[in-house]
Structure 1
């Protein structure tokens, strides 16, 4: 695209340990951050977990989600109780529910509890696998928010960027990338974010508001978890 340039990561991205949101009541929604490929140039807080983030497989597992239910904080709704922009760390989460305890974020994400779940975002090619973190037994509410953020912070390769099916969609991704780093008021922080390049979150083209999880029919009669965004 003449006159337009994007950047791609040349190094792997490292993430700090997950944090549990520190809860505060708010009705405001919140508006990312790490690794380098860049497209052609052209908040109150919920609990954050201070436990180490682990992706090691456990020796035991639980049944895959079938006739199961999701935690109320994660349930899909047109008016979710959680205000969260998935392009930002989970520590920026706020809630519309007065008196919500931060301990709720340590509760199982789904019932019956599972040691891992895979989330699919409509029209997004990268599934997100969430593993049980510090408790080592089941995925918590906070595990979901933390892993969604980290997964979407992964860098995009030039091949993935060039595989975008149309110029119109490519332009949307590039604009999302530019908006993400330009929203940072600190000039050095903005430049650092720009140099980290295009990330998977940019492929959401601005649809980053968390609306919840739902279960949809999958192939072969199985069910899949769908991450709804708006």
Structure 2
């Protein structure tokens, strides 16, 4: 391990590494909807199936709430949507507490559903990270809001990294970049006491983004309606 490792701290909590379990809500209706579509359009051939509107009936899933149904054409809120050709409407550094967002976006907007139609659970992944971030509504709500997503990402990325996860970094270059991100994040705190306190909390998952902390939005992952990818820069 590089010599710089001795300058990097790890949290004293989470002595045993336990990966985030798969969210119990990660079901899909793709097989059900595709079967229904195939049955209704068999006379027209598969090349026409994409042109037909989705016609799944809620009665086919009687035990599920409409909030739990993963719609195949679900849309993400514009504040959270990733667009490779436009600047993100939400300017946010994932290292900073989400309260900063409330200073320039109204509480009414932040409380809007994160998706259309609203859902009660979704999962966020990131190509740069090995962890998943399950998103659920805050207390008192039946659907995930825009603010729920921002808060969940912040909390998830603030999780302390276990030394075994640190040692699993693929190269010395990756280690150096994580270390640099850790020191840069801590040194950005001007108050000495607060800075020392943050250093004592150790390396966070956000440091594994290697200083790519700018939120660029969420994009659909491989057509899955409830799994979205976090884009950063």
How does the TM-score come out when normalised to structure 2? Answer: 0.72
Distance in 2, matches of 1:123 and 1:214, equals: 14
Which of 148, 162, 165 lines up with 1:160 in the alignment? 165
Aligned to 1:200: 205
Structure 2 runs not aligned, ≥5 long = 15-22, 26-63
Aligned to 1:174: 179
Q: Is the 8 A contact 1:68 1:111 kept in 2?
A: yes
Q: Deviations over 1:70-110 (max 9, x none)?
A: 111111133111110011111112788xxx53301111101
* Residues 179-190 of structure 1 mapped to structure 2, 5 A cutoff: 179-190=184-195
Distance 1:65 1:151, change over 3 A: farther
Structure 1 runs not aligned, ≥5 long = 13-54
Q: Is the 8 A contact 1:8 1:198 kept in 2?
A: yes
Aligned to 2:68: 62
The structure with more helix, counted as a fraction of residues: 2
Distance in 2, matches of 1:204 and 1:94, equals: 24
- Shift in Å at residue 112 of structure 1? 1.1
Q: Is the 8 A contact 1:66 1:223 kept in 2?
A: no
Q: Is the 8 A contact 2:123 2:133 kept in 1?
A: yes
Q: Is the 8 A contact 1:83 1:95 kept in 2?
A: no
Aligned to 1:143: 148
Distance 1:128 1:223, change over 3 A: closer
Q: Is the 8 A contact 1:81 1:95 kept in 2?
A: no
* Residues 92-131 of structure 1 mapped to structure 2, 5 A cutoff: 92-93=100-101, 101-131=106-136
Q: CA RMSD in A?
A: 2.4
Distance in 1, matches of 2:198 and 2:75, equals: 38
Q: Is 2:222 the partner of 1:217?
A: yes
Q: Deviations over 1:108-167 (max 9, x none)?
A: 101111111100111210111110113331100000000000000000001000000100
Deviation beyond 6 Å, 4+ runs, structure 1: none
Q: Deviations over 1:48-67 (max 9, x none)?
A: xxxxxxx9x9x955122531
Task: Report the number of matched residues.
Answer: 182
Distance in 2, matches of 1:70 and 1:121, equals: 16
Q: Is the 8 A contact 2:4 2:179 kept in 1?
A: no
How does the TM-score come out when normalised to structure 1? Answer: 0.72
2:178 counterpart SS class: helix
2:3 counterpart SS class: coil
Of the two, which has the highest radius of gyration? Answer: 2
